[in-house]
Copies of this chain bind each other. A is one copy, B any other.
Amino acid sequence: MQLSQSTEYAIHSLFYLAVNNNRQTVLVSEIARAQNISESYLAKIFQGLVKAGLVRSYRGAKGGYHLAVPAEKITLKNIMQAVEGTSPIYTCDHDRRDCDFVVDCLITATMKKAEKKMYEILDKITLEKLIENAEELRNQMKWLDSIPK
If A36-B97, A89-B3, A97-B35 touch, whether A114 touches B118 (CB-CB below 8 Å) is yes
Count of chain copies: 2
Counting CB contacts under 8 A, is A73 at the interface? no
Indicate if the CB atoms of A1 and B89 lie closer than 8 Å. yes
Q: Is the CB of B76 within 8 A of A107?
A: yes
Residues of chain B within 8 A (CB-CB) of A107 are 11, 76, 130
- Indicate whether A61 reaches chain B with its CB closer than 8 angstroms: no
- Secondary structure call for the A interface: helix
**A35 (CB) vs chain B CBs: closest residue:** B97
Q: A83-114: which residues lie under 8 A (CB-CB) from chain B?
A: 84, 87-93, 96-98, 100, 102-103, 105-107, 110-111, 113-114
Closest to A131 in B: B103
- 4 closest A-B pairs by CB: A114-B121, A118-B118, A117-B117, A114-B118
A-B contacts, 5 listed (Cβ < 8 Å): A2-B90, A7-B90, A12-B97, A114-B121, A117-B120
Give the interface of A toward B (CB within 8 A). Answer: 1-4, 7-8, 11-12, 15, 34-37, 76, 80, 84, 87-93, 96-98, 100, 102-103, 105-107, 110-111, 113-115, 117-122, 125, 130, 133-134, 137-138, 141
Given A1-B80, A3-B89, 18 more contacts at CB 8 Å?
A: A1-B3, A2-B87, A2-B91, A3-B111, A7-B90, A8-B93, A35-B98, A36-B97, A76-B107, A106-B134, A107-B130, A110-B122, A111-B122, A113-B121, A114-B117, A114-B119, A117-B121, A118-B118
